Structure 1
Amino acid sequence: MRSSVEIYTIATGETHIVWQTQQLVEAPNWSPDGQSLVINGDGLLYRLALSGGEPQLIDTGFARTCNNDHGISPDGSTIVISDKTEFGASTIYTLPAAGGVPRQVTLNRPSYWHGWSPDGKTLAYCGIRDQVFDIYTIPVEGGEETRLTFGEGRNDGPDYGHDGAWIYFNSSRSGRMQIWRVRADGSDVTRVTDSEYGDWFPHPSPDGKHLLVLSYDGDVFDHPRDLDVRLRLMDPDGGNARVLFSLFGGQGTINVPNWSPDGTAFAFLRYEPAADQ
């Protein structure tokens, strides 16, 4: 086993395995109907039914180098991907959830998708402009991007809160990577975590009760794979933070929104060391 797709249930604290493979797969994103997960592997996307069976390839047209920044729209009709096939740098596209021809959204690149507003109208992403990592939003149809952060350290991993009022993200502006949030209009930037860890990929639950965070050891910068990490749960304002469990993972574990539609469980990837390690 190299990759293990698993689900953690909040009420019971129990984990169950959905599917395991000797291949490297990443970033489970839960469908709004609650029936399946979307994962990526080898530049392609797959749909994994929670009822069992092998993952099914999703037709992404010319986009054959998708990274692990993908997600399903709130109404379940559309998939967003981040792919570099066309331009040699990550670009955001949308396509029908059943598969089809990608439609370009972002003109500036690299751009790495991370969040979809609850009303389905806006995408949040990390854009690298002149080597500066910042948080941007853009209408799902495309158009002008709106910059929400301005080079205060590295800013990455944005995801919308349950009602769309806040966008959570991770930032190194304090020295160590921590979780912050900003209102969707770019105001009221607020620190959420002040921890000993390197905190990444905040994902607010759809019911507004929780915030899930991937936490590296404090001396780790960036978000590498294959390290001992932990998943932490807290209130949306950072209060009552606790470690749910530790695991071998990191990059690929929870890169994208991964909560069940009702907010009672979340999906994640656990890994075993690669054979050449």
Structure 2
Amino acid sequence: MIRTLQPGQRCEVWIASVTGQAELLYSTDRVLFEAPNWTLSSKGSGDGGALVLNGDGKLWMLDVTGGHGGEPVEVPLSGVPDLNNDHVLDPDGKGIFVSANDGHIYRAALSGGPATMITEDDGSFHFLHGVSPDGAELAFVGIAAGDFSQPGKLMTIASDGGAAARVDVGPGHCDGPEYSPDGTWLYLNTESFSSVPGHAQLARIQIDGSGFEQLLESETVDWFPHPSPDGRYATYIQFPSGTEGHPADLPVAVVLVSTEDWTTPLHTWPLFGGQGTLNVNSWSPDSGRFAFVAYPRGDSFHDSAKD
């Protein structure tokens, strides 16, 4: 299903700094963009020049420096159905792995062209979230038979396809599995630590399936932990207590922490959003900034974001 903006609603793409500042990069009332990835470059030079987002079932590139008139430019993909907001960049800086609404994962070039299906018709939906630092493996959430009443399972697969393997993180629903910069851990959110429906908490597990641990215990519903490329910081999104899943159009907060202390926020950005705000890793290559999306109704995202 392709998401659209509600009457009177805007899509705002923001860039925040580890120092606590935030600036509005782009705003529109036409297309609902989601889930920014920060490229290694806009032209292959390694300078981190663009964001990659999905919107209207397509993939888009938004120049961070305001090029192309400040408007997103469509990445012309072929051979892939409408996209959802689960996409991650290939560590080679030239490709991207995407999840489509047919439940499969594909790989394509950031420059556009034909996409290649990676996952098999194994009876599951595959929701991509992580790629290993060497580009050899993907981490995704598998939903058997597309039955969303059942908990998602943490799965891995070779990035060129083949059989998927399960990583056991307990009976609760999990989401957002993402590799640490050194490739030794998978970070995720999971409901396995709580008996309260939907009470997702942040966790990590070593890639060999050992060392499963909760990163912090909170009253909020916490999703999508994203380590920075240098491993010093992480971002995640807080949903209100009692939230089930990661729905759209709620008062949420984007949180920045040190990976040495997940319990103490360094900065917090309250906003109206949720689904689409921070689904994938959006860190700049230098670990100094990250992007997120707000979906305000009426007034723009809080002025406090600029503080």
The TM-score, its normalising length taken from structure 1, stands at 0.93
Partner of 1:173: 192
Partner of 1:239: 262
Counterpart mapping for 1:133-144 below 5 A: 133-144=152-163
CA deviations over 1:47-99 (Å, ceiling 9, x no partner): 11112121111122132410000121112111111113xxxx31000011211
Partner of 1:122: 137
**Equivalent residue of 1:132, what SS?**
coil
CA deviations over 1:111-154 (Å, ceiling 9, x no partner): 01101111111111111125331111111101121211255210
Q: What is the Cα-based RMSD across aligned positions, in Å?
A: 1.5
1:17 aligns with 2:46: no
Partner of 2:64: 50
User: Are the equivalent residues in 2 in contact too, given 1:45–1:66 (CA < 8 A)?
Assistant: yes
CA distance in 1, matches of 2:169, 2:187: 15
Which stretches of structure 1, 4 residues or longer, exceed 3 Å deviation after superposition?
A: 237-240
**Equivalent residue of 2:283, what SS?**
coil
User: Are the equivalent residues in 1 in contact too, given 2:79–2:116 (CA < 8 A)?
Assistant: no
CA deviations over 1:167-212 (Å, ceiling 9, x no partner): 0000011222101101112111111120111000110111111121
Paired residue for 2:244, among 193, 196, 221? 221
Partner of 1:8: 16
Partner of 1:252: 276
Counterpart mapping for 1:53-132 below 5 A: 53-84=70-101, 89-107=102-120, 108=122, 109-129=124-144, 131-132=150-151
**Equivalent residue of 1:203, what SS?**
strand
1:30 aligns with 2:45: no
The alpha-carbon distance between structure 1 residues 149 and 226, as it changes in their structure 2 partners (threshold 3 A), is same
User: Are the equivalent residues in 2 in contact too, given 1:38–1:71 (CA < 8 A)?
Assistant: no
**Equivalent residue of 2:129, what SS?**
strand
Partner of 1:263: 287
The alpha-carbon distance between structure 1 residues 200 and 70, as it changes in their structure 2 partners (threshold 3 A), is same
Partner of 2:55: 41
**Equivalent residue of 1:70, what SS?**
strand
Q: Which amino acid aligns with 1:173?
A: S
**Equivalent residue of 2:290, what SS?**
strand
CA distance in 1, matches of 2:172, 2:81: 32
CA distance in 2, matches of 1:235, 1:245: 16
CA distance in 2, matches of 1:48, 1:120: 24
Q: Where do 5+ consecutive residues of structure 2 fail to align?
A: 1-8, 42-47, 299-307
Shift of 1:240: 4.3
User: Are the equivalent residues in 1 in contact too, given 2:151–2:171 (CA < 8 A)?
Assistant: no
Shift of 1:239: 3.3
CA distance in 2, matches of 1:241, 1:172: 21
Q: Which amino acid aligns with 2:166?
A: R
CA distance in 1, matches of 2:255, 2:296: 20
Shift of 1:218: 1.2
CA distance in 2, matches of 1:207, 1:236: 10
Partner of 2:177: 158
CA deviations over 1:210-257 (Å, ceiling 9, x no partner): 121101111111000111001122232553421512111100001011
Q: Which amino acid aligns with 1:145?
A: A
Query: Aligned residue pairs: how many?
Result: 269
The TM-score, its normalising length taken from structure 2, stands at 0.84
Counterpart mapping for 1:196-207 below 5 A: 196-207=219-230
